[in-house]
């Protein structure tokens, strides 16, 4: 079966968002353009890592171009997007690997999120299967590819970090997340600590 590629060259919207209550949230990347929407699920840590890497890559682009690249230093306030994910949120796939690049010819950030692939077999077989998977562009796992301007990428990164930090507040003693009903705090010798 040929590889399914969800390609957004000029997205109307590209955001990270969640479904569910803090502590039980599912994280998504969602791209929208011309009446079509693609949502892919991923882990909270993947969202945070993606946002941090985007900011780092944009900072490097600005540094290497001597400030001549069309990349703002911070997310433009007029591009802030705090709206919820577009519904219905239908998961196309769960993200396994992600990649970032800067297309200098077109001044665009390229973000790719590839579906999680389960590889089974012996350790030697796994290495061969991974190598084959990396080389198989035509029949590889589903892929979401989004191209963003520097300003869009900064705005995405800011919102993504805001979404990640909007979860449960940390316990002031142990830094583990506090549930509304509290949690068993290791710093309190296992006693329940209230929020």
- With cut-offs at 50, 70 and 90, classify the pLDDT of residue 154: very high
- Mean pLDDT lowest for which of 8-12, 128-132, 155-159, 174-178? 128-132
Do 75 and 15 contact (CB within 8 A), yes or no? no
Strand 13-19 relative to strand 26-33, pairing: antiparallel
If you average pLDDT over residues 155-175, what whole number do you get? Answer: 84
* φ, ψ for residue 100, nearest 5 deg: -130, 145
- With cut-offs at 50, 70 and 90, classify the pLDDT of residue 17: very high
Please name which of 102, 120, 119 lies closest in space to residue 111, comparing C-alpha atoms. Answer: 102
The 8-class DSSP code of residue 38 comes to E
**Greatest mean pLDDT range, 6-10, 21-25, 126-130, 167-171:** 6-10
Share of the chain above pLDDT 90, in %: 62
Q: CA-to-CA distance for 10 and 7, rounded, in angstroms?
A: 9
Site of tokens 């084959």 = 132
If you average pLDDT over residues 84-99, what whole number do you get? Answer: 94
Q: Is the pLDDT of residue 194 over 60?
A: no
If you average pLDDT over residues 177-181, what whole number do you get? Answer: 69
CB-CB neighbours of 123 under 10 Å: 6
Q: CA-to-CA distance for 44 and 52, rounded, in angstroms?
A: 13
Do 39 and 92 contact (CB within 8 A), yes or no? yes
């Amino acid at each position: 079966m040929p590889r399914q590629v969800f390609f957004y060259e000029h997205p109307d919207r590209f955001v990270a968002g969640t479904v569910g209550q803090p502590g039980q949230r599912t994280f998504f990347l969602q791209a929208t353009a011309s009446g079509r929407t693609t949502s892919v699920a991923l882990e909270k840590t993947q969202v945070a890592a993606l946002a941090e890497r985007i900011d780092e890559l944009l900072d490097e682009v600005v540094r290497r171009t001597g400030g001549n690249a069309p990349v703002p230093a911070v997310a433009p306030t007029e591009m802030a997007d705090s709206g919820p994910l577009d519904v219905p949120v239908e998961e196309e796939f769960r993200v396994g690997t992600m990649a970032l690049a800067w297309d200098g010819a077109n001044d665009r950030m390229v973000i790719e999120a590839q579906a999680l692939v389960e590889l089974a077999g012996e350790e030697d077989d796994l290495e061969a299967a991974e190598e084959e998977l990396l080389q198989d562009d035509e029949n590889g796992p589903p892929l979401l590819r989004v191209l963003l301007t520097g300003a869009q990428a900064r705005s995405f990164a800011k919102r993504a970090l805001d979404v990640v930090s909007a979860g449960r507040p940390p316990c002031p003693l142990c830094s583990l997340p506090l549930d509304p009903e509290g949690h068993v705090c290791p710093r309190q010798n296992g006693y329940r600590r209230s929020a």
